[in-house]
Structure 1
Amino acid sequence: MSEPAVVPDMITVMSQQPPSRGQRRKLRTRTALIEAAQEIFAERGDLEVSIQHITEAADVGFGSFYNHFSSKAELLDAALAEALESHAAWLESVLAHVDDPAEVFATSMRLTGRLVRTRPQTARVLMSGRGALLSASYGHAPHARRDIEAAVAAGRFVTEDIEVALACTAGCLIATMHLCDTAPEASVEAIADQTVLNVLRMFGMQDDEARRIVALPLPVDEPPSTTL
Structure 2
Amino acid sequence: MSEVNRLERRKARTRAALLGAARTFIAEGRTNAPILEITQAADVGMGSFYNHFASKDELFQAAVEDALTVFGEALDRLSGGLDDPAAAFAQSFRLTGRLHRRHPELSKVLLHHGLSLTGPIKGLAPRAREAIGRGIDEGRFTVADPELALVVTAGAALSLAQLLHDRPERDDAAAADQVAEDLLRMLGVPAREAKELARLPLPSLDAFDLAQSRELDTEEPPRRPGPLRWR
When normalised by structure 1's length, the TM-score is 0.88
Residue 130 of structure 1 deviates from its aligned partner by 4.4
Residue 137 of structure 1 deviates from its aligned partner by 3.5
Residue type of the partner of 2:175? I
Match of 1:174 in 2: 158
1:190 counterpart (167, 174, 189) = 174
1:146 counterpart (126, 130, 139) = 130
Q: Does residue 28 of the first structure (1) align with residue 9 of the second (2)? A: no
**Distance of aligned partners of 1:18 and 1:60 in 2 relative to their CA distance in 1, 3 Å threshold:** closer
Q: Is the 8 A contact 1:35 1:227 kept in 2?
A: no
Q: Does residue 213 of the first structure (1) align with residue 197 of the second (2)? A: yes
**Secondary structure, in 3 states, of the residue corresponding to 1:20?**
helix
Higher relative contact order (CA 8 A, sep 6+): 2
Q: Please list, as runs of the form range in 1=range in 2, the aligned pairs for 1:19-58 lying within 5 A after superposition.
A: 20-44=5-29, 46-58=30-42
Q: Does residue 132 of the first structure (1) align with residue 116 of the second (2)? A: yes
Q: Share of identical aligned residues, percent? A: 42
In 1, distance between residues paired with 2:200 and 2:83?
14
Unaligned runs of 5+ in 1: 1-16
Match of 1:95 in 2: 79
Per-residue CA distance 1:184-207 (angstroms, 9 max, x = gap): 011011111111111111111111
Match of 2:54 in 1: 70
Number of equivalences: 211
Residue 220 of structure 1 deviates from its aligned partner by 2.4
1:226 counterpart (187, 211, 226) = 211
Residue 132 of structure 1 deviates from its aligned partner by 0.8
In 2, distance between residues paired with 1:190 and 1:48?
36
In 2, distance between residues paired with 1:209 and 1:197?
9
**Secondary structure, in 3 states, of the residue corresponding to 1:131?**
helix
When normalised by structure 2's length, the TM-score is 0.87
In 2, distance between residues paired with 1:137 and 1:225?
19
In 2, distance between residues paired with 1:211 and 1:110?
12
Residue 226 of structure 1 deviates from its aligned partner by 2.2
In 1, distance between residues paired with 2:65 and 2:204?
23
Match of 1:203 in 2: 187
Unaligned runs of 5+ in 2: 214-231
In 2, distance between residues paired with 1:140 and 1:203?
18
In 2, distance between residues paired with 1:21 and 1:49?
31
RMSD of Structure 2 on Structure 1 (CA): 1.7
